[in-house]
A = this chain, B = another copy of it.
Amino acid sequence: MAQENCLQDIELYKKRSLSLKDALELLSGKWKLVVLLHLYHHGTSRFKDLQEGCVSISPKVLSKELQNLEINQLITRTVNNTKPVTVSYAITEHALEIEPVIMALVEFGMKHRVKITAA
């Protein structure tokens, strides 16, 4: 019986680790969250706007981050039929679901900075 609970614990634990890993992979990287914050704020943006939003990001890197975000369905990519082609990136509902979590991280980050610099 105790054995059973223990095994369940281990399974739960493993599942959590994997889920956590998944979630972190979504957000890890130098720019993904900057992009997300920008899109949370603006709702939708073009490539160039994002490039200016992330000061000093190279187009290659931005492109890659955007592709990753699109694959994970956190943003959508739509090509506009304009003379010089423009592309719009927009936040998805799925991404909106993590917004509170991200904001919680922001809050903790602020608290943490205070705590660490005080010590």
* Contact surface of A with B, Cβ cutoff 8 Å: 9, 13, 15-24, 26-28, 33-34, 37, 41, 72-73, 94, 97-98, 100-102, 104-113, 115-116, 119
Main secondary structure of the interface of A (DSSP, over half): helix
Number of copies: 2
When C-beta atoms are compared, the residue in chain B nearest to A104 turns out to be B101
Q: Which residues of B contact A13 (CB under 8 A)?
A: 37, 41
B101 close to A19 (CB less than 8 A): no
Q: Could you list 5 examples of A-B contacts with CB < 8 Å? A: A22-B113, A23-B109, A101-B101, A101-B104, A101-B108
Is A119 a contact partner of B73 (Cβ separation < 8 A)? Answer: yes
For A15, the chain B residues whose CB sits under 8 A away are: 110
Residues B20 and A106 in contact, CB atoms below 8 Å apart: yes
